[in-house]
Chain A
Amino acid sequence: SQTIHQWPATLVQPVGSPLSLECTVEGTSNPNLYWYRQAAGRGLQLLFYSVGIGQISSEVPQNLSASRPQDRQFILSSKKLLLSDSGFYLCAWSGGTTGRNTEAFFGQGTRLTVV
């Protein structure tokens, strides 16, 4: 069966420090991968998605970046965090582009607080 791992679960970082959040998927190949951010009491904002190794599409211009060095690994990074980067970050995967297998499965999320 497929599983998705995302870590860490919580993170407190000072303003200006770097960030690296990692997400890995097991039990499937060539998944579509997504990074979302959710501010408190708000909906999910799509940050990046990837349909293959090295392929990254950015939805919102900001000081974050994403990379996909391996088929089932998706990394969210920042060189210098801002206070506004605080939020709940969710990684998700889905299989294919059509049909019922396009359902997205979410990792446990990372609650990031920038202080």
Chain B
Amino acid sequence: GQNIDQPTEMTATEGAIVQINCTYQTSGFNGLFWYQQHAGEAPTFLSYNVLDGLEEKGRFSSFLSRSKGYSYLLLKELQMKDSASYLCAVKGDYKLSFGAGTTVTVRA
């Protein structure tokens, strides 16, 4: 099975940096995804990691360590519109399983 843990909530100030950690245990690994979900909407894709290391995409970066079962999503230069839930998801052989999500609140 798969077990995915991430913090429930985080708060940060506009313009700051926030790091959301995700730890996982999985049988079979075909990649780790991060999604953003605004209230009442479907999740949208942010990033994908399958090899160890850092993937950078604009203000968002994602890191993976397969040996540690660990990933983080880094949000830089936070904007008010970044207030949302951030979901860590792990792809096994076929299943895509999600963590409970981290609600990020950006304050002015």
Contact = CB atoms under 8 A, between A and B. Distances in A.
Indicate the size class of the contact surface on chain A.
Answer: 20 to 34
Contacts of A111: 40
Indicate the size class of the contact surface on chain B.
Answer: 20 to 34
Interface string B68-104: 0000000000000000000101010111111111000
A36 to B, nearest CB: 7
Give the interface SS of chain B, mostly helix, strand, loop or mixed. Answer: loop
Interface string B11-46: 000000000000000000011010000001111110
A111 B41 CA distance: 10
Given A34-B96, A88-B40, 12 more contacts: A32-B94, A43-B87, A43-B98, A43-B101, A44-B43, A44-B98, A99-B50, A103-B48, A104-B33, A106-B42, A109-B41, A111-B40
Interface of B: 30-31, 33, 40-45, 48, 50, 87, 89, 91, 93-101
